[in-house]
Amino acid sequence: MIDFELTDEQKALQEAVREWAQKAAAPKIAELDKKHKYDPSLVRGMAELGLLGLPFPTKYGGAGMDWISLALACEELEYVDTSLRVVMSVHVGLSGTGLYQWGTEEQREKFLEPQCRGEKIGAFGLTEPGAGSDVASLRTTAKKDGDFYILNGSKTWISLADVADQFLIFAKTNPQADPPHRGISAFLVERKFKGVSTRPIKDKLGVRAGNTGEIFLDNVEVPADNLIGEEGEGFKIAMSCLDNGRFTVAAGAVGLARAALDASIKYAKERKTFGKPIAEHQLVKEMIAEMVRGIETSRLLVYRAGWMKNKGIRNTRETSLAKWHACDVALKCADMAIEIHGAYGYSAEFPVERFWRNARGAVIYEGTREIHKLIQANYALGYRKDKPLRRELPPYLPE
């Protein structure tokens, strides 16, 4: 059975997030973006709304809502600015689901519960200066020493690096493993641990209202109890987390594309050339129509992936396609919005140039466009098939 109608609960959430984002964030987001300034009050507001634990059971402090609800929240947040959705992607989609899917009951209580309540902010440390798409080449190490692991290395392009309280860090426990990815393990590293330091990355092209930085690990003693999953499962854990982070990125991209469309419609009806609004010109209509098509197809792909997540069905292929398509659509919509605005679109006087800068990053992070093309081709050719994980993401069960 296929039902595209939102539930009353989902509609209420959608309206609540939309109202909050418009009142709390929209009036100041352009200034925050201009100053490259992260505003912690916005994250606190998201916590008060219950967004930071949205898809997790209430027993862990979450809201107990489903994956379609998470998509709706991400769409409304990114409609205002990408930096808001990034919090959901990292804190909830990557870090939170990693703890929920792979953590022990004790680890969920200790680390996931405070994240759900917004008492602690979680981040995800996978990318390194020399390891992005090629995850297996990461160089951060974790050596067992009694009841601890000693971590050394660095991570880069980490969202929330300077503000997170705890990091899901991936390191090699067996550098000689063959193949290399089987030597990777996952750890929950707390900022308070000696040897942990962070540094912001400045002068980014986009997502300027969000915090992005580097993490440095210098002989950090991490309790063995903070090992997430088992030794050697890090690569599987990272990839499963990305299935969820990519879902939030795709959902957010729909919001950005929608914002570009709405801005374009408003401007096209107001701006006149040759004696009539430019909305009446055929080539402008063509761009508006392209935006509509892209938004609708992207949303359908996101909802399909969300439906599969709700059912507990593996959705690596479907989520990858949603992320690839929706991010490309968002970038194209932002680009056409600039075209419709003409010279004004090139100015910060209108928001569409910010939309473009933000959309450009999403085509790169959480799997580049090229990586997703390879994923889709390998599935189609039969070169890639999903194998059961030791721990699958539990299906959504209404509470």
Q: Which residues are catalytic, by number?
A: 366
DSSP H or E segment with residue 341: helix 316-341
Nearest in space to 253 (alpha carbons), one of 294, 210, 203? 294
The residue behind tokens 């309790």 is 223
Helix axis angle for 282-311 and 316-341, nearest 10°, is 160
DSSP H helical ranges for 81-170 = 82-87, 97-102, 105-107, 113-116
Q: How many angstroms separate the CA atoms of 38 and 43, rounded?
A: 10
Residue 120 tokens, joined: 């602690």
Q: How many angstroms separate the CA atoms of 92 and 100, rounded?
A: 10
180 in Cβ contact with 111 (< 8 Å)? no
The upper half-sphere exposure of residue 5, i.e. CA atoms within 13 Å in the direction of its Cβ, equals 3
Task: Kindly report whether the peptide bond that precedes residue 40 is cis, defined as omega within 30 degrees of 0.
Answer: no
Q: How many angstroms separate the CA atoms of 159 and 353, rounded?
A: 22
Q: What are phi and psi of 2, to 5 degrees?
A: -115, 125
